[in-house]
Amino acid sequence: MTDTPTSAPEPNGRPRMSRGIRIVLFLSLALNLVVVGIVAGVIFRGGPDGHPPKHVRDAVAPYTAALDRGERREIGRRIYRSLRTEGSRDALREAMRAEYAEALTLLKADSFDADAFAAVIARQTARAADRQKIGQRELVRHLSEMTADERRAYAARVAEALERFGRRARR
């Protein structure tokens, strides 16, 4: 009897990401976008003092906008490999599912436990911050592997991205 792979390999020969992990990553991204949307809404509607800040931008956005698609893909692969080596994929997936299940239970309850819900979001945010740190580390690693000419060309693209973001902020 021969062993058959549980999932067909991608054209590059690596095994495909399981459907479960893709679902968990999608749910994580969706929650992160919800949180970012809420924060952005507060900022653009006036922030805590009733006035939006003059220069609202994500600190990393110009750096990632200056990367080409292939570079972003390579950094993404490195991030994925880092996440795989830092813990069991199944354990991570199960922890994320459990947190979303806990959040849903809290949201559906007749009496809303705001502190418990805040704790769930804090754990999810901490996990997202850990992933962000990995992403930042991999960006720096990618840049450190560039030649001086490649870094100068990248710097020019960062400057262009900053100009684009500045024009949007002034509108």
Distances (CA, A) of 145 to 66, 93, 140, 151, 159: 16, 32, 9, 9, 20
Which domains does the chain carry?
67-170 (1.20.120)
Residue 61: per-residue pLDDT: 84
Fill in the DSSP letter of residue 163: H
Q: Is pLDDT at 159 greater than 90 in this prediction? A: yes
| pLDDT digit string, tens, across residues 1-19 | 555 555 556 666 667 777 8
Is the separation of the CB atoms in 165 and 57 below 8 Å?
Answer: yes
| pLDDT digit string, tens, across residues 17-46 | 778 777 776 666 666 665 555 554 544 444
160: left (phi over 0), alpha (psi -120 to 50) or beta: alpha
Q: Cα–Cα distance between 65 and 55 in angstroms, integer? A: 17
Fill in the DSSP letter of residue 10: P
Work out the pLDDT band at 52, boundaries 50, 70, 90: very low
Residue 90: per-residue pLDDT: 74
| pLDDT digit string, tens, across residues 86-109 | 666 677 778 889 999 999 999 999
Closest by CA position to 66, among listed 141, 147, 133, 164: 164
Report the 10 Å Cβ neighbour count for 87.
10
Residue 81: per-residue pLDDT: 83
Q: Cα–Cα distance between 142 and 119 in angstroms, integer? A: 35
Residue 20: per-residue pLDDT: 77
